[in-house]
Structure 1
Amino acid sequence: MLGHATARQVGELYELQPAEVQERLLDAEAHGWARRPTYTDSSTWSMTDLGRQHGEQMLSDDLDAHGTRQKVEEGHRCFLPLNQRLGPLMTRWQLRPTDDDPLVFNDHLDPLYDRAILHELDRLVAELRDVMTVLAAEVPRFGVHQPRIDTALARAWDGDHRWVDSPEVAAANLVWIQLHEDLLATLGIPRGADF
């Protein structure tokens, strides 16, 4: 879900101690499920293809063991129309077309334009909250996503535009993508196959 992450970042996400996470990552490395890429900081971890397959099998087994697959599939179906609305909204946040150029970047100097988009994002996130409540009741792990999106949106409303779509922070768009990845992995759906 996080791509490349440190033990601290994983621990923060799931309220685990970094030392415990580090030990589990070392175990995963020994099984060939995780690695520390040589091209980046050695404290950063990523999953291997074998690790992704193993993790997805564990997630699938967990759904079946707890009888939650149908509810998570229903949650995913409810998520899809919301996900389809997010893309165009992020495009409108990033671009501010003119008559002369449809690809002009939004300079965020028009607060009315930005507020209109934030209001739409508020409505979308409110609808997502209903889906996430059901999903988190079935699979508590899903409960990490909504608070992170809510925090990002609140910071965007406070005037820090990075919290809408910047990859440098846990922005609303980035956390939404991570939620989507979590759903795909949990249900064993290949990326791009659920649109």
Structure 2
Amino acid sequence: MTHPTPPDLLTLHAVRTLGYASTARVAGRTGLPVATAEEHLLDAQAFGQVSWTGYHGDGGWSLTEAGKAHEEKLLAAELDATGARALVEAVHHDFLPLNETVSATCTAWQLAELEMTDDPPTLTEILAALSGPARRLEGLEQRLTSVLPRFAGYHERFAGALERAEHDLHWVTGTDRDSCHRVWFELHEDLAATLGLGH
């Protein structure tokens, strides 16, 4: 049985996993209307849980230390209320070896782009290395969403980035888009935050 996450927690959690994001991006991540996401963000700001930083007419939200502590308390309560802790812990255990592969592969590609390696991998080799974790991610997501639907979307986003990378190498580790590296990092943060784990 699935257990929808309350919108106020969804909003805080989106800011946590995204790291720094506009209101529109938070809304997109939560599936909430922009006006609803903004309302929850402003409420969280009033409680000192998020802060807004603007740059030349643009800007984004980030989680404060108080917000992080509050969010982790809510996430722990959600796991206890839904009985999902054991399942999420098991998925995290299965995720870790895949994380090592993805992290090593993305690092190898970043070093190749910076011409900091004598034996750079080819894009074909990089995509092949990421294809295994992409396939495994589908099953991990299905297990997670069987209880917590807020984990939906990671596999589709990662697989989509991997497919686009065949024609545009920036989809491997680009920071200006939902690249393979960025999506995987968000999932890592999502699992760690949900379980109250430090990095």
- TM > 0.5: yes
- Partners of 2:89 and 2:127 lie apart in 1 by 29
* 2:67 aligned residue (32, 51, 67): 51
TM-score by length of 1: 0.85
Give aligned pairs, total: 182
SS of residue paired to 2:19: coil
**Aligned residue identity for 1:122:** S
Aligned to 2:175: 167
**Aligned residue identity for 1:135:** L
Aligned to 1:121: 130
Q: Within 5 A, what are the aligned runs for 1:2-21? A: 2-21=18-37
Aligned to 2:105: 89
After superposition, give the CA deviation of every residue in 1:160-193 in whole Å (9 maximum; x if it has no partner).
Answer: 11111011111011110010001011000011xx
Contact 2:105 2:130 in 1 (8 A): yes
Q: Which runs of 4+ in 1 moved over 6 A?
A: none
SS of residue paired to 1:45: strand
| Cα deviation, residue 92, structure 1 | 2.7
* 2:193 aligned residue (171, 180, 185): 185
| Cα deviation, residue 58, structure 1 | 0.6
**Unmatched 5+ stretches in structure 2:** 1-16
Identity %: 36
Q: Return the index of the structure with the highest Cα Rg.
A: 1
* 1:148 aligned residue (136, 141, 157): 157
Aligned to 1:77: 93
Contact 2:72 2:196 in 1 (8 A): yes
| Cα deviation, residue 140, structure 1 | 0.8
Q: CA RMSD in A?
A: 2.1
* 1:103 aligned residue (103, 117, 121): 117
**Unmatched 5+ stretches in structure 1:** none
Contact 1:35 1:45 in 2 (8 A): yes
SS of residue paired to 2:146: helix
| CA distance 1:96–1:140, change in 2 (3 Å) | same
- Partners of 1:20 and 1:102 lie apart in 2 by 46
SS of residue paired to 1:138: coil
Aligned to 2:11: none
TM-score by length of 2: 0.84
**Aligned residue identity for 2:92:** H
| Cα deviation, residue 73, structure 1 | 0.4
SS of residue paired to 2:53: coil
- Partners of 2:27 and 2:54 lie apart in 1 by 22
User: Is 1:67–2:83 an aligned residue pair?
Assistant: yes
Contact 2:172 2:181 in 1 (8 A): yes
SS of residue paired to 2:61: strand
Aligned to 2:51: 35
Higher alpha-carbon deviation: 35-44 or 165-174 = 35-44
Contact 2:101 2:129 in 1 (8 A): no
